[in-house]
């Protein structure tokens, strides 16, 4: 039992520590492909530092949804990190609850709350931006689900020609 908890804590810490670095590397790769000089690969860490030190601005027209959304959006990827093993094949604490499709639904929950919070402010530009973001999700989500279902129906043997009988 102690090993499971240690593996879960290590996985969450590694995912939280290296996710901004991966984003920085991908941004740098995009800049290199476009023959541009972009920011440092550590720029996401500096952005996070800056965001944690900013003052909070909350509209007087917003409800509890706007106040709880940052926590939901922060917790959903951490919950997915406890659901799907990243570092090891060792079963994680919440592995019995779902798989890749369940992880996608959990991440969609965070996006749903972000959309609700954008609409909750009462600003028309928030609703406009949220609808554009959700439109991309509505178009890309079913494609990913079809790909996951198709892959799940494939046989386990990757090279069936090697397993034919010669008789």
User: If residue 6 lies in a helix (H) or strand (E), which one and from where to where?
Assistant: helix 2-33
Residues in the chain: 167
Crossing angle of helices 100-120/124-153, nearest 10°? 170
Whether 38 is covered by a domain: the verdict is yes
Task: Kindly indicate the confidence band of residue 160, based on its pLDDT and cuts at 50, 70 and 90.
Answer: low
pLDDT for 40 equals: 92
Same domain, 32 and 81: no
Cα-flanking dihedrals φ and ψ of residue 11, to 5°? -65, -45
- pLDDT at position 69 is 92
39 & 73 share domain? no
Answer whether residue 5 is part of any domain: yes
Q: Are residues 145 and 74 in the same domain?
A: yes
pLDDT at 119: 86
Tell me which of 16, 37, 54 is where a domain ends: 54
Q: Is residue 160 part of a domain?
A: no
**What single string gives the DSSP state of each residue in 66-131?**
HHHHHHHHHHHHHHHHHHS-SS-SS--TTGGG--HHHHHHHHHHHHHHHHHHHHHT--HHHHHHHH
pLDDT tens, 26-77?
A: 999 999 999 998 889 999 999 999 988 998 888 787 889 988 999 999 999 8
**Cα dist from 89 to 83, 86, 92, 118, 158, whole Å:** 12, 8, 9, 38, 20
pLDDT digits (tens, 9 = 90+) for 103-148: 778 888 888 898 888 888 877 888 888 887 777 777 777 787 788 7
143 in the same domain as 77 = yes
Better pLDDT: 148 or 20: 20
- Quick check: is 100 in a domain? yes
State mean pLDDT over 18-29: 94
**Pair 72, 116 in one domain:** yes
Looking at the structure of the chain, the number of domains it has is 2
Same structural domain, 46 and 118: no
| 116 in any annotated domain | yes
Please indicate, yes or no, whether residues 24 and 103 belong to a single structural domain of this protein.
no
Number of Cβ within 10 Å of residue 128's Cβ equals: 12
pLDDT recorded at residue 103: 77
Question: Same domain, yes or no, for 45 and 78?
Answer: no
Of 126, 114, 109, 120, the residue nearest 63 (C-alpha): 120
Q: Which residue segment(s) compose the domain that 1 sits in? A: 1-54
Whether residues 65 and 49 share a domain: the answer is no
Residues 81, 122, single domain; the answer is: yes
Band of the pLDDT at 157, cuts 50, 70, 90? low
Does residue 96 have a pLDDT over 70? no
- Residue 144 sits in the same domain as residue 75: yes
């Amino acid at each position: 039992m102690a090993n499971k908890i240690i593996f879960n804590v290590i996985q969450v810490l590694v995912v939280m520590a290296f996710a901004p670095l991966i984003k920085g590397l991908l941004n740098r790769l995009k800049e290199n492909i476009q023959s541009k000089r972009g920011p440092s690969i550590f720029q996401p860490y500096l952005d996070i530092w800056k965001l944690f030190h900013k003052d909070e601005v909350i509209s007087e027209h917003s409800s509890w949804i706007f106040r709880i959304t940052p926590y939901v959006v922060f917790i959903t990827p951490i919950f997915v990190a406890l659901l799907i093993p990243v570092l090891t094949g060792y079963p994680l604490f919440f592995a019995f609850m779902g798989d890749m499709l369940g992880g996608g639904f959990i991440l969609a929950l965070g996006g749903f709350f972000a959309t609700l919070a954008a609409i909750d402010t009462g600003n028309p530009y928030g609703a406009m931006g949220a609808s554009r973001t959700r439109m991309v999700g509505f178009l890309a989500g079913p494609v990913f689900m079809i790909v996951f279902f198709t892959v799940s129906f494939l046989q386990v043997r990757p090279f069936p020609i090697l397993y034919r009988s010669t008789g």
